[in-house]
Structure 1
Amino acid sequence: MKKLYFLLIIVVANFGYAQIEDAWVYFNDKPSSATFLSNPLTMLTQRSLDRRTAQNISLDITDVPVEQTYIAQISAATGVTVMAKSKWLNALHIRGTQTDIQALTALSFVNNVKFANHSLNPGGKFSQTPKAIKPVNKQYDVQVNYNYGGSQNQIEMLNGHLLHQQNFTGQGKIIAVLDSGFTGVNTVAPFQNLITNNQILGGYNFPDANTNYFFRHNHGTNVLSTMGGFADGQLVGTAPSAQYYLFITEDVNSENPVEESYWVEAAELADYYGVDVINSSLGYFAYDNTAYSHQYDDMIGNKTFASRGVNMAFNKGIVVVISAGNSGATSDPHIATPADAIGALTIGAVNSLEAYASFSSIGPSFDGRIKPDVCAKGLQTTVSSTTGTITTSSGTSFSSPVMAGMVATFWSAVPNLTAQQVVNFIKQSADNYNAPTTQKGYGIPDFQLALTNALNLEEVSSNKSFVVYPNPAENQITFQLENKQKGILYLYDVLGQNILTKEISENNNAIDIQNLSNGVYYYNFESNKVFKGKIIKK
């Protein structure tokens, strides 16, 4: 009888566990939006507002926090636990039984519920036959390498040393690192410059819901060292003078969609603090529960929760640098999410001779976009361990922060650029720009070339002979020209695709933008001079 009773307990427990689901609940509105938008400092820091002003990015309802009364009511709902929240997507990540979650749709302020288990959504696809849940191994192979000046190759490959020689080292820029943990950063020697100079500004541990971010795992420590580490004669990061926020979003003990939600929540907090660059050496494709897993046809740039978060961050003026992934030599070699995001600068890996590293995930995205975008050294990259030992490690986990640090260093040299311009200059400087491949994308950037090109950019704001108005606009944009001036206008979307070419003259100086989607567009006006700028369709 005891054995039977014990067996019954196991069956009931397993049945109950099987019914627990992850989901997102989306809301209809934000009733307090007018109050927040009229008081911007209740939503964002002054630095965040300044970054938007510099890039001509307007505040909108996505900047408004999720309605607190909605959070309270969902939290109080029977059998539902709130795991994370997103103001950008106006949603909560929740966990509970299918029945309890579905009951939330009866609330008047709930727009819809989307289950992480695709088969539970209307028209959802069924996953492969469920596999037994097994522990996920997120450890990384490390080889000890004490070669003097080991970081030289990874910096010189990008011509980053030329920017360093000009005293551009990331000063004035802030990088948010979204990772699995930063053990030892507060104690070991290669990070002491960051600690002593107060370059680590703060952070948060989302899985544990506390501020203990010097904790959990070594991966973020290795990653941070390629950007901000300094061990004289052994390791110099690509942005040693930048400041950093450290966010733990990854739970190394399991693989669950809540990590995507933690990621988006951390990106929102990074935006709040006014960061300029995000580095994330994380990717999501297969989950412990295969019913939650993504498929390659999900990699379309704006479908997954994480990719949508990346796109929002980029639209707020942040350059978002994402590792391509380490699946290149597997049966599923393509990029994971959020590397697929439209707004991501996705980084593949090469070796010391600039040849493709076979583990680096390949493109294109499922909808055919170039991915990865560019590459950096990811095979035997020089890093610091949690004990301060200078060693090497391999993976796009390290090519990504090498690049992210260079993004900050480049941007510190030309701080007036927009995030889109930064990304464009980096891609255009790469060695495969005119012949991108599925393995290396546009190839390896030359940051000195990018800097030279950026410094040659003509500032339209300083020339009174060319004025664009109104901007932002809803229906029509007019170009004010000098007498008898004329030229060709080229209009581009955020992907760099030409969507309009038109001759503009004194008597034909307007374009109709009614049919364009809301967002940011870029123009080149070419006459006897070249004028470049940005148009916002509202």
Structure 2
Amino acid sequence: MRILIFIGFVFVSCCSYSQTAPLKYWVQFTDKDNSPYSISNPSEYLSESAISLRMKNGIAIDQTDLPVNPFYIEALSSLEGVLIKHSSKWFNAVTIQLVDSSYLETVLPLISALDNVWQVKSVQTVIDEKLVIKHTVTEKSSSESISTIYGPSYAQIAIHNGHLLHEIGLRGNGIKVGVFDSGFSGVNYLGAFSKLRDEDRLKFQYDVVDDDNSVLNGGNHGKSVLSIMTAFMPDSIIGSAPEADYYLFRTEDGSSEHVTEEDNWVRAAEMADSIGIQVVNSSLGYTTFELEENNHSYEDMDGNTTRISQAADIAASKGMLIVNSAGNSGDDSWYYIGAPADADSILAVGAVSDKGEYAWFSSRGPSFDGDVKPNVCGVGYQTVYADLTEGIKRGNGTSFSSPVIAGLAACLWQAFPEKSNMEIIRAIESSSHLINAPNDSLGYGIPDFFKAYESLSDHKNFSDSGILIYPNPFYECLTILVGNSEVNGLKLYDTSAKLVYETSWLVIGDNAAALALSDELAHLSPGTYYLNFLNDSSILKSEKIIKLSN
């Protein structure tokens, strides 16, 4: 009898809970007065990496960096029936959850009456449970083979000349990349991520939705997106930034569509800022919701109206490079980009095929205030990604074009750590094929990341001489890229004209040859050397290089 009563109690409790789903509210405060935190002591709330990034870019630490006053949060949490979900330092607010709708009439007036509360807004209401699919992806198995290490993924990298960045050692090494998405199921065991795990480059994960430290729940859309950036399966797929460090955030609740997911995004962005993350890929976008009163309109897509777009611009002002999918509404009634793709200081990415053709579903610009949107485009039609069967598939969506661009942006930034996020964005836009004639479908067009690299490094002579040496000066490894078909060898001399290294190779047609020298130069002492590029015995070009001491 006791067992039956217990079972009956559990059954009734579960039914009651499903009928009174939690309600969430955004509570914004008036100030940060009397806070235990101060601008003069940022190490209490920003990591060393974050502070270093600010100093490098000349970005001041200000009031928006201070956490929400903990005494204000304590006053809320002390109220019966109130759970604190998370806080936003940028907006000086918290998201709360009422444990039951019976507290609506009693607790909300108490919250509004608190001295330091400015406003209270509903961000989620009671609804019938239903599954909302926010990203429609067309998939098909791929069995094709391409005779490069990239396999079928070659085209989505090569259309941007991203493979040339990889060849000269720019693979995102040392760059902190945040990924905001839904679940990342499979990242912990799939072979596509073995290199990521083995090299300890999966640095951090946090589930904002469930408030825990595992992002493996909530589906595998995030896994697919991440694989486009970091997968390493030779002859199948190589990611756009296969050697970057990754920080995963689950901000999307795939079971519903509420404006609270924008607040989850804000929370993740603030955490990313505190950690010192440099590049964020967000394959997410928001337009309409299950509660119609929270719906956005095209007029809201002005970069300044929605909270998520405001947060994206704040993140950019803190030095982060935010890359966001434009949206998949180009062929439906919404038509335009969503939020936060409308933010004016980020890269919104539309979709093309690997032949450079506009993908019909890719959301269009401009933003409501007239900014060019999308900013650029990447391959989002039949994009190759890793699936849950240890193989690869192809899918459609700006969710997939965005990580291609975000990863290559990380590779580009690796070469120029002294550049700001906005300088990297401008270089990417300026390298795109429609820079002088942007349109509402492709924005500035398809970026050429090697062209962006050349423009930032002042190696414009590569297009004339067909020779690029990187880095110079160097410590251990020197990479040489040759696109001049006349070059068939090189010789390296020290200042006494002693030959210390020589080799030969053949450049065929328009294909560039890359040579990475490390062990070959290990015996050399620090100092100045002269590198001669030869056609048989004739010197075509001579370059001074400098080896530095470790």
Shared fold, TM over 0.5: yes
Q: Which residue of 1 aligns with 2:321?
A: 319
Q: Which amino acid aligns with 1:113?
A: V
Structure 1 residues 343 and 17: CA distance shift in structure 2, 3 A: farther
Cα shift at 1:74? 1.5
Asked if structure 2 preserves the Cα contact closer than 8 Å seen for 1:84 and 1:258, the reply is no
Asked if structure 2 preserves the Cα contact closer than 8 Å seen for 1:360 and 1:439, the reply is yes
Asked if structure 1 preserves the Cα contact closer than 8 Å seen for 2:251 and 2:264, the reply is yes
- Does 1:363 pair with 2:370? no
Task: Report the Cα distance in structure 2 between the residues aligned to 1:357 and 1:415, rounded to whole angstroms.
Answer: 33
Asked if structure 1 preserves the Cα contact closer than 8 Å seen for 2:45 and 2:274, the reply is yes
Provide, for residues 473-529 of structure 1, a one-character-per-residue CA deviation record: whole Å limited to 9, x for no partner: xxxxxxxxxxxxxxxxxxxxxxxxxxxxxxxxxxxxxxxxxxxxxxxxxxxxxxxxx
Task: Report the Cα distance in structure 1 between the residues aligned to 2:95 and 2:128, rounded to whole angstroms.
Answer: 24
- Does 1:110 pair with 2:117? yes
Q: Which residue of 2 aligns with 1:283?
A: 285
Asked if structure 2 preserves the Cα contact closer than 8 Å seen for 1:351 and 1:380, the reply is yes
Q: Which amino acid aligns with 1:401?
A: P
Structure 1 residues 259 and 74: CA distance shift in structure 2, 3 A: same
Q: Which residue of 1 aligns with 2:131?
A: 135
Provide, for residues 334-393 of structure 1, a one-character-per-residue CA deviation record: whole Å limited to 9, x for no partner: 111111112221000001210110000111111111111000000000100123211111
Q: Which residue of 2 aligns with 1:159?
A: 161
TM-score by length of 2: 0.75
Q: Which residue of 1 aligns with 2:143?
A: 146
Task: Report the Cα distance in structure 2 between the residues aligned to 1:375 and 1:355, rounded to whole angstroms.
Answer: 10
Structure 1 residues 240 and 117: CA distance shift in structure 2, 3 A: closer
Task: Report the Cα distance in structure 2 between the residues aligned to 1:165 and 1:330, rounded to whole angstroms.
Answer: 40
Q: Which residue of 1 aligns with 2:263?
A: 261
Task: Report the Cα distance in structure 1 between the residues aligned to 2:192 and 2:37, rounded to whole angstroms.
Answer: 46
**Aligned to 2:32, what secondary structure does the other structure show?**
coil
Greater Cα shift, 149-158 or 103-112 = 103-112
Give 1:346's match in structure 2, choosing from 345, 348, 355. Answer: 348
Asked if structure 1 preserves the Cα contact closer than 8 Å seen for 2:301 and 2:367, the reply is yes
Cα shift at 1:34? 7.0
Asked if structure 2 preserves the Cα contact closer than 8 Å seen for 1:301 and 1:307, the reply is yes
Bigger radius of gyration: 2
Asked if structure 1 preserves the Cα contact closer than 8 Å seen for 2:124 and 2:258, the reply is no
- Does 1:374 pair with 2:357? no
Task: Report the Cα distance in structure 2 between the residues aligned to 1:342 and 1:284, rounded to whole angstroms.
Answer: 16
Task: Report the Cα distance in structure 1 between the residues aligned to 2:369 and 2:388, rounded to whole angstroms.
Answer: 40
Cα shift at 1:17? 5.6
Q: Which residue of 1 aligns with 2:71?
A: 69
- Does 1:169 pair with 2:171? yes
TM-score by length of 1: 0.77
Task: Report the Cα distance in structure 1 between the residues aligned to 2:20 and 2:223, rounded to whole angstroms.
Answer: 35
Task: Report the Cα distance in structure 1 between the residues aligned to 2:235 and 2:459, rounded to whole angstroms.
Answer: 36
Provide, for residues 246-287 of structure 1, a one-character-per-residue CA deviation record: whole Å limited to 9, x for no partner: 111111111111111111111111111111100010111111
Q: Which residue of 1 aligns with 2:518?
A: none
**Aligned to 1:36, what secondary structure does the other structure show?**
coil
Asked if structure 2 preserves the Cα contact closer than 8 Å seen for 1:184 and 1:387, the reply is no
Asked if structure 2 preserves the Cα contact closer than 8 Å seen for 1:80 and 1:101, the reply is no
Q: Which residue of 2 aligns with 1:101?
A: 108
Q: How does 1:48-447 map to 2 (within 5 A)?
A: 48-96=50-98, 99=105, 100-116=107-123, 134-138=130-134, 140-148=137-145, 149-447=151-449
Provide, for residues 374-428 of structure 1, a one-character-per-residue CA deviation record: whole Å limited to 9, x for no partner: 0000000010012321111110000000000000000001111001101111111
**Aligned to 2:378, what secondary structure does the other structure show?**
strand
Cα shift at 1:160? 0.5
Task: Give the CA RMSD over aligned residues.
Answer: 2.5
Cα shift at 1:172? 1.5
Asked if structure 2 preserves the Cα contact closer than 8 Å seen for 1:185 and 1:386, the reply is no
Structure 1 residues 307 and 293: CA distance shift in structure 2, 3 A: same
Which consecutive unaligned segments of at least 5 residues does structure 2 have? 1-11, 146-150, 461-550
Q: Which residue of 1 aligns with 2:488?
A: none
Task: Report the Cα distance in structure 1 between the residues aligned to 2:228 and 2:431, rounded to whole angstroms.
Answer: 22
Q: Which amino acid aligns with 1:108?
A: D
Asked if structure 2 preserves the Cα contact closer than 8 Å seen for 1:136 and 1:255, the reply is yes
Q: Which amino acid aligns with 2:56?
A: A
